[in-house]
Amino acid sequence: KAGVTQTPRYLIKTRGQQVTLSCSPISGHRSVSWYQQTPGQGLQFLFEYFSETQRNKGNFPGRFSGRQFSNSRSEMNVSTLELGDSALYLCASSLWGNTEAFFGQGTRLTVV
């Protein structure tokens, strides 16, 4: 059974640009959540989607957005990139959202 797949693995963007990250969950999993990992702030929750509906959102500015498609695949978008957005972005999938979550390898975003 394939795990959680995140693409791309690495990205370099310039300040002010926007970026879209993709996540394909484990087959049969309907919940997808996103986390940002930085050395200073650790792992922080961004948002969670289930059946195309956002059920919870973390404390991030509106520049961070996401969506989920009918096949449970999810994307997150960051607009007007800032240097502080440089981080490892991790996607996790689970059956229902309050069960065990399985993480992808992450997308390493560097903003220059």
The binding site for another protein (CB under 8 A) comprises 4, 6, 31, 33, 35, 42-43, 45, 48, 50, 55-56, 58, 90, 92, 97-98, 100-106, 108
DSSP code of 32? E
* CA-wise closest residue to 76 among 100, 85, 28: 85
Nearest distance from C-beta of residue 16 to another protein, angstroms = 27
Nearest distance from C-beta of residue 101 to another protein, angstroms = 6
For another protein, give the closer residue by CB, 19 or 94: 94
* CA-wise closest residue to 81 among 97, 63, 93, 54: 63
For another protein, give the closer residue by CB, 34 or 111: 34
Instruction: For residue 101, give the amino acid letter.
Output: A
Pair of tokens at residue 87: 């981080």
Nearest distance from C-beta of residue 2 to another protein, angstroms = 14
For another protein, give the closer residue by CB, 12 or 17: 12
Nearest distance from C-beta of residue 98 to another protein, angstroms = 5
Pair of tokens at residue 52: 């195309």
CA distances to 8, 21, 28, 40, 41 from 75, rounded to whole Å, are 11, 5, 17, 25, 22
